[in-house]
A and B are shown apart, each in its own frame.
Chain A
C-alpha cells in the first residue's frame, strides 16, 4: 500500500473509533487480524483488551468495552499525533474519563496499525500499563511475565 492510501484509511479508522462504531471498524480488518497488548496485560480477566478475531478486535478498537466501568459521557480520546509510512500507521492518544466507582482515568497510548491490501491485519497497543495498577485496575506482581 502507498502512504497516501494508508493515510486515508487511517483517517477513516479514526473517525469510526471516535464514534465508538465497531460496525464501521469491522470492514477495515482482515479475517486473521490480531490485537496485541503488552505481556503484563495478557493474563487479566479483561479479554476484550486482547483478541484474535475481527469482532473482538473491532470491539476493542471501538473503545466501548470500558463503558462497563466508566461513564461513557466523560470519556475523551485526544489524538495527539498520527504517523503514516507505507503500510504502517501510528496514533498517539491521550485518554481520560471518570470511573463509575469514582476516580479519574488518565492514560497515554500508542496504537500501531499494520495494513495489508486495504485492511488491518495486526494492531499493537502500547498503554502505560503501570498506570492500570496505580488506578487499581490490576496489581503489581499479579500478571507480569517477560515478553516472548
Chain B
C-alpha cells in the first residue's frame, strides 16, 4: 500500500477509535488481525476481528472508567508505506471519580486496505496506580 492510502485509512480507523465505535473499527480490520496490547496487562494478544475491535473500543480501562466520561484527542498521526502511528490523549473519570489521563500509541500495519496487526502502548503503570488496572499479573 502507498503511504497516502495508509494515511487515509488510518484516519478512518482513528475516527472510529476516538468514537469508541467497535463496528466501525471492525470494518477496517482483516479477519486474521492480531492486536498486541502492553504485555504487562496479561490481556493479549487478541486474535481476530471481533476480539480486536472490542478491545480497541474499550481501551483503556474498560469498565474501570465511568461510562460517557472518556474523551480522546489525536495528538500525532503519521504514515510510512503500509504502517502508521497514532498518538491519542485520553481523559476520563475513573469509577472512583478520580481524574484519569493517559496517552495511547497505536502502531498499525496494513495489507490490501485492512489492518493485520496493531501494537498498543500506554502508561500502564499509571493505569495501575489509578486502579484502572486492578489485578496486576505477575511476571515472568
Chain B residues within 8 Å of A131, by CB: 38-40, 124, 139
Task: Say if the beta carbon of A27 comes within 8 Å of chain B.
Answer: no
Q: Measured between C-beta atoms, what is the minimum distance from B57 to chain A in Å?
A: 21
Pair B126/A39 contact, Cβ less than 8 Å? yes
Of A46-54, A56-64, A137-145, the one contacting chain B is A137-145
Q: Measured between C-beta atoms, what is the minimum distance from A79 to chain B in Å?
A: 13
* CB-CB under 8 A for A140 and B84, given A38-B123, A88-B76, A126-B121: no
Q: Measured between C-beta atoms, what is the minimum distance from A89 to chain B in Å?
A: 9
Segment 8-39 of A: residues with Cβ below 8 Å from B: 38-39
Chain B residues within 8 Å of A109, by CB: 121
* CB-CB under 8 A for A129 and B80, given A144-B128, A147-B103: no
Pair A128/B107 contact, Cβ less than 8 Å? no
Cα(A146)–Cα(B127), bound, Å: 9
Task: Say if the beta carbon of B15 comes within 8 Å of chain A.
Answer: no
* CB-CB under 8 A for A146 and B128, given A110-B107, A134-B136: no
The residue that B125 contacts in the complex, of A38, A104, A147, A148, with Cβ under 8 A, is A38
The range of chain B's interface size is 35 or more
Cα(A92)–Cα(B129), bound, Å: 25
Identify the interface centre among B83, B89, B124: most chain A CB within 10 Å of its CB: B124
Pair A41/B125 contact, Cβ less than 8 Å? yes
Task: Say if the beta carbon of B85 comes within 8 Å of chain A.
Answer: yes
Task: Say if the beta carbon of B79 comes within 8 Å of chain A.
Answer: yes
Residue of chain B at shortest CB distance from A84: B80
Residue of chain A at shortest CB distance from B133: A130
Task: Say if the beta carbon of A135 comes within 8 Å of chain B.
Answer: yes
Pair B126/A129 contact, Cβ less than 8 Å? yes
Can you give 23 A-B contacts (C-beta < 8 A)?
A3-B80, A40-B125, A40-B129, A81-B109, A83-B83, A85-B3, A90-B78, A90-B85, A92-B107, A110-B85, A112-B76, A128-B121, A131-B38, A134-B136, A134-B139, A140-B125, A140-B129, A141-B128, A144-B129, A145-B129, A146-B130, A147-B123, A147-B126
